[in-house]
Amino acid sequence: MDARGSELAGGSPQSAGAVNRKRGDWLGSCGQQARRTSTEHPMTPFRIRCAGALALLATTLLALTPAQAGPLSGLLQRDDQTLRLNIDGHNRKYILHTPADYSGGALPLLVVLHGGYGSAANAQRSLGFDDYADARNFAVAYGEGYRSSWADGRGTGPAAEAGVDDRRYLQAIVADAASRLPIDPARVYLAGVSNGGMMSLRMACETSTPFRAYATVIANVPEPLAALCAPQAGGALLTINGVEDPLMPIDGGDCCGGGLLGQGGRVVSADASAELFRSAYGCGASPAVELLPPTVDDGTWVEHRQWNACASGARLQAYRVHGMGHAWPPRRPILPTNGDSSGNLDATRVIVEFLFGLP
């Protein structure tokens, strides 16, 4: 997703270091003020702003689940590497996570794409795939968009405007990871959220890619791609959408914030997106629909759709989360204007089970 406030995994189009320094300097000034007594310094407008900022920071940190909070220092874990690639003159990077107890043998690879204005490091910290990778013995590569964006087919945003070929970049990630680890080419998968989800759908619409299955959260097929979408036979796709998503409309149309807070563009509906793959995969016309029993009473409920009788072993599933907005459930969206999340679906667990099977 491209709207700055919609990025689940955090990040900013500005330099993270510069932003952190600015925030640190400003909050440091607040801290100096806080150490003085109220009798020495009455509640001036500056101190009121400081109090509000510190309260917001505390609320944000308390709101994070352990998986969201991650190491606040942003340091990589022991078995992680930040690796650099040059694609058509653009310096790119990605993070490669090797399972903690890996001792040899062929490894599946999951490539994960952050949302608009995000980063590889923030996606790694916030989405929780590393724990599953360690437990189930697969590698994870976290891609980093060009200026925090992906050329997902809408024709908008920094990556598209710079003519970046993100298809080549993703192919290069797979090749580079395979040069470092014994990656099993039959078990290479791609998952993404929002802008990264649309990039994943762009790859899924290609006839030939290194990926064998795809999973997307809060993403539809970009409208310019719909007529060109030619998915590989025998593929697999899982989608998760919020029915009340204000940024990625379930019924299609203008998406992604637009204006100063986003990159705009148009998408087809979630149903039309699914139909492109149902037809290509040779699945039955109507999915089996299951309403999942809620596990928490938060006003949301989950509809699971599964298309059967697909040709060549293809698989197609969709989760529609009613009452949910632009979020990676059960994690909270960054801004209240993105709508609610849902405690009735764990997107990370569902994706891992779809790609790697039940434990």
pLDDT in tens, 144-183: 999 999 999 999 989 999 999 999 999 999 999 999 999 9
pLDDT at 321: 98
**Cα(41)–Cα(47) distance, integer angstroms:** 9
CB atoms within 10 A of CB 219: 31
Q: Pairing state of beta strands 253-254 and 266-267?
A: antiparallel
Query: Which helix (H) or strand (E) is 241 found in, with range?
Result: strand 236-242
pLDDT at 28: 40
Alpha carbons within 13 angstroms on the beta-carbon side of residue 171 total 11
Closest CA to 81 of 12, 195, 179: 179
Fold (CATH) for 4-11+64-356 = Rossmann fold (3.40.50)
What letter would DSSP give residue 120? H
pLDDT at 358: 80
pLDDT at 262: 57
Place of tokens 């409309």: 249
Domain ranges of the chain: 4-11+64-356
Query: Which helix (H) or strand (E) is 268 found in, with range?
Result: none
pLDDT at 140: 98
pLDDT at 207: 83
Is the CB of residue 110 less than 8 Å from the CB of residue 141?
Answer: yes
**Cα(131)–Cα(206) distance, integer angstroms:** 30
**Cα(257)–Cα(246) distance, integer angstroms:** 8
Q: For residue 330, say if its preceding peptide bond is cis, omega within 30 degrees of 0.
A: yes
The parts of the chain modelled with pLDDT lower than 70 are 1-78, 258-262
pLDDT at 70: 33
List CB contacts of 66: < 8 A, sequence separation 6 or more. none
Closest CA to 199 of 184, 183, 219: 219
Closest CA to 240 of 173, 330, 172, 118: 330
